[in-house]
């Protein structure tokens, strides 16, 4: 494992175990504040690959999108 561009990125390899499990490297867990018990979302596309995202980040992103849609609709109604 090594760090890229001033500690904002990590790069490494993991091995898939017999039960399909992987271990996220410590440097990556630390960078993204991943703790035991955290929920992660797996986004996969056969063409693009696999992405692992903390569930709370997706919730925050979705909340921001819904707020922007609501504000847009409110502004549209007030015109």
Q: Is residue 31 part of a domain?
A: yes
The dihedrals phi and psi of 3, each to the nearest 5 degrees, come to -95, 145
Instruction: For residue 34, tell me if it sits in a domain.
Output: yes
Q: Mark residue 52 as left, alpha or beta (left: phi above 0; alpha: psi -120 to 50; beta: remaining).
A: beta
In a domain, 57, yes or no: no
d(CA 9, CA 76) in angstroms, rounded, equals 41
Which region among 5-14, 21-30, 38-47 has the lowest average model confidence (pLDDT)? 5-14
Q: Residue 4 domain-assigned?
A: yes
Q: How many domains does the chain have?
A: 1
Is it the case that residue 2 has pLDDT exceeding 70? no
Tell me whether residue 1 is in a domain. Answer: yes
Q: What percent of the chain has pLDDT over 90?
A: 42
Q: What is the pTM of this model?
A: 0.66
* Pick from 61, 54, 19, 20: nearest CA to 38: 54
Specify the pLDDT at position 5. Answer: 60
Query: What range does the domain containing 18 cover?
Result: 1-38
Q: pLDDT tens across 33-70, in order?
A: 999 999 999 999 999 999 999 998 888 888 888 888 88
The helix or strand, by DSSP H or E, that contains position 53, with its residue range, turns out to be: strand 49-54
Specify whether the CB–CB gap between 22 and 13 falls below 8 A: no
């Amino acid at each position: 494992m090594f760090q890229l561009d001033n500690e904002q990125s990590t790069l490494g390899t993991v091995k898939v175990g017999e039960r399909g499990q992987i271990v996220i490297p410590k440097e990556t867990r630390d960078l993204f504040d991943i703790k035991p018990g955290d929920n992660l979302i797996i986004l996969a596309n056969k063409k693009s690959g696999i992405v692992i995202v903390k569930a709370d980040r997706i919730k925050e992103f979705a909340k921001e999108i819904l707020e922007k849609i609501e504000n847009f609709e409110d502004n549209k109604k007030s015109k």
